[in-house]
Structure 1
Amino acid sequence: MGNCLTCFKEPPAAPQDIPNCHKEDMPEVRLYAAPSHIPASAPPDQTIISNGNHLSLTPVSPISGDSPASVVGRFYPLQSRKPHSKSAPIMGLSDSKQASETKLNALFNTYKDENEDSILAEGIEQLCKDLQIPPEDYKILVLAWKLNAEQMCRFTREEFVTGLKSIRSDSIKSIQNRLPEIVQEVDRSSELFKDLYRFTFKFGLDTAAGQRILPTDMAVVLWQLVFSRKEPPILKRWLEFLEMHQNIVRGIPRDTWNMFLNFSETIGEELSSYDDTEAWPSLFDDFVEYENDKMNQNIAKDNKELGGILREDFNVND
C-alpha cells in the first residue's frame, strides 16, 4: 500500500489455475524439467527434476533481511501517483468504545478517490502517513485484515466503516491506539494468526484480473511480511528455493500457501522429520529433496577437503 505490495503491480499474466496442490495433482508447481514448465529462456543450470535427479544448480544468494517494500521494488516499477491533498484532523478524535458511523463516513470521505467510492492507492498512502505507520509495516496488513479488504490498494466504504466499527475505532488517534493492541492479540493467539495468514493469500491476489494463484514473487513478499513478527526457522531456505526457481515455480496455489504454515510448524529446522508419504503438496517434496541434496554435497565436499588435509599431513610426516 502506498509504497508497498501490489500498488505497483503491472497487469501480469496470471498463472494457470491448479486444480489442487496434493501429490500428483500439481503440474504447474512441480519442478519438472519438461518443456511445458520451463520457459525457452531458462538456462540449464536452473532446472531441477522433482524425482530427486537434480541437475547442476547455480548457488543462490541468501535473502539478506530485505523489507517487503524493498523486495517489491525489485519486482514492480513504481507507478506515478498524484499527491493526496486531504488529511484527517488529529485532535478532537473519539476513543469511545462505540464507534460513530457518522465519524467513520466522514473519515472515509477524507481519503476516498474523487471518482470512485473507495480509498485507492493515493488515499491509502495518505492514511498511512496520518497513522505514522510505514505502508509496508505489518500493522497495515493487520488493519487490512480487520477491514476484510478484498484486494490491495482498495478499501471500499463498506469495508472501511464496518471494519473500523468492529475494532471500535472512528478516528486516526483511536486506530493508532488499537492497532498495537490487535497485534498483541494476534501474537498471543495461534488461531487469530492462522486467520490473518490465510487472509494474506486472498489479499495478495489480483482479483480484478481473475487471479486465483499467487505469482511466486508476490508470495515471497507476503511470506516475508506475514512472518515479520515471528519467523519460522525454515523460512529463509524456503524463500531462497522459490526465488532460485521462480522461472519454473511460477505460482503458489491456496492449498500450498495454507499448508506451508503447518509444514513450517511440523518441520521446524530439521528436515529429517519430513514424511513424504503424508499428503503434503509436491512442491514440499521437491524442496526437501533439494535441501537434502545440498546437505549431502556439502558433506561430500567437507570430507574431500578433510581427506586432502590428512594426505598432506601424512606426506609431511612421512
Structure 2
Amino acid sequence: MGNCLSCCEADSHQGSTLTPGTQPLQQVQRSRGLVQYPATEFKELKRPVSTENQNQGRVLAPTTEKKMFPQYTKIPPLKKQGNGETKRLSFVSKDISEAKILQLYEQYKDPVEELILAEGIEHFCQDLEVKPEEFIVLLIAWNFKAETMCKFTKDEFVNGCKNLKVDSIKSIRSKFPELEAEMQNKQSFKHLYKWTYKFCLDNDSGQRTLPVDVAISLWKLVFTGSEPTLLEDWLEFLEKHPTIKGIPKDTWDMFLNFVEQVGDDLSTYDDTEAWPSLLDDFVEHENDKKNQNVKTD
C-alpha cells in the first residue's frame, strides 16, 4: 500500500512460523522505523512463507483465522410494495371477462340503435327475475351511472358491469344483497336520492320539472324499505291538489332534509327556515287537518 506500510520481514529471515507466546512482540519493519504488534495477535501459519517473496526480502502478512469482518447471512432484497397490489388487480381482471360483458350487451341491444332501450331493459329484467319498477333496478341504473331512464348506452352498461365486477346474469344477481346493503349508508342513499330526480327527467323533450304523478311514483320507489312517517301524508296532499302540476328539483332535494328535521308529527317544523313554498303549504294543510279533528266542548 505505497510507502505507508513496508513489507514485513521474518524475524529469523528463515521463514519460520510464529506461535502465540513464543516471543513478547513481533517486530515489523516500516520505512520510517519499527512498529511493534503483540505476538498474541498471530497464530501459527498454516503454510510456509513464499520462497519467491523471501528472495525479494519480503514476507507475506501472516494469515490469521480470525477475520476482521464476520460473514453475515445475505439479506434478501425487499419486495416492491406494488407487487402484491399488481398481482391482486391482475387476478381480479382475469375474473371479469370484457368479452362476456360485450356479449351480454349485444343480447339486449336495440337492433337498430347502439343502445339498450325499454324493450331490451325489460328483457334484461326478466333474465334477472325482477320487475322494471323494482327498487333493485333503480340501484343497478345508479351503479351504471345511467343518465336517462329506460336507456343504457354501451359505455354505461359495459363500464357499469366492470365497476360492479360482473359479467353475467348470475354474477349481477349475486350483487343484489350488496347493493341493497349500501343503502344503509346515509350518504350513499342521499347520492342515490338526488341522482334519481335527474335520471327520470325526459331529456329529449328538454324537461326541467318532474310531473307530479312521476314524482309520486319515484318517492314510493326510492323510499322502498325506509319509508318516512310523513311520506304517506305528503303524497296524499299532492294527489288532492290538482293545481300542483310539477315538482321542482329544489323541492325534491329539500324533502329529504325536511323529513329528517321536522319529526314524525311536524313538531319541530320552523317556519322561519327557507323551505320551498310547497312544503310550507303541506305543513299548513296538516295543521288544518289536526285542528278540524279537535273536539270542542
TM norm. shorter chain > 0.5:
yes
CA displacement at 1:236 relative to structure 2: 0.2
C-alpha displacement of 1:215: 0.6
Task: Write the distance in 1 (CA, Å) between the matches of 2:162 and 2:145.
Answer: 12
Shift of 1:97: 7.8
Aligned pairs for 1:1-318 (under 5 A) are 98-187=95-184, 189-245=185-241, 247-299=242-294, 302-303=295-296, 307=297
State the AA in 1 paired with 2:148: Q
In structure 2, runs of 5+ residues without a counterpart are 1-91
| Cα distance in 1 between the residues matched to 2:235 and 2:95 | 43
Q: Among the aligned pairs, what percent are the same residue? A: 55
Equivalent-residue separation in structure 2 for 1:155 and 1:202 (angstroms):
15
Structure 1: give runs of 5+ residues left out of the alignment: 1-94, 308-318
Q: Distance in 1 between matches of 2:268 and 2:149?
A: 37
1:157 CA drift (Å):
0.4
Q: Do the aligned partners of 1:139 and 1:180 also contact (CA within 8 Å) in 2?
A: no
RMSD between superposed Cα atoms in Å: 1.4
Q: Give 3-state SS (helix, strand or coil) of 1:273's partner.
A: coil
Give the residue type in structure 2 aligned to 1:208: D
* Structure exhibiting the larger radius of gyration computed from Cα positions: 2
How far 1:179 sits from its partner (Å)?
Answer: 2.0
Structure with greater strand share of residues = 2
Shift of 1:269: 1.1
Question: Greater RCO between the two (CA within 8 Å, min separation 6)?
Answer: 1
- Secondary structure (helix, strand or coil) at the match of 2:228 reads coil
Task: From the two aligned structures, give the one with the greater helix fraction.
Answer: 1
Q: Normalized against structure 1, the TM-score is what?
A: 0.63
After TM superposition, give the deviation of residue 152 of structure 1 in Å: 1.2
Give, in whole Å, the separation in 2 of the partners of 1:229 and 1:207: 29
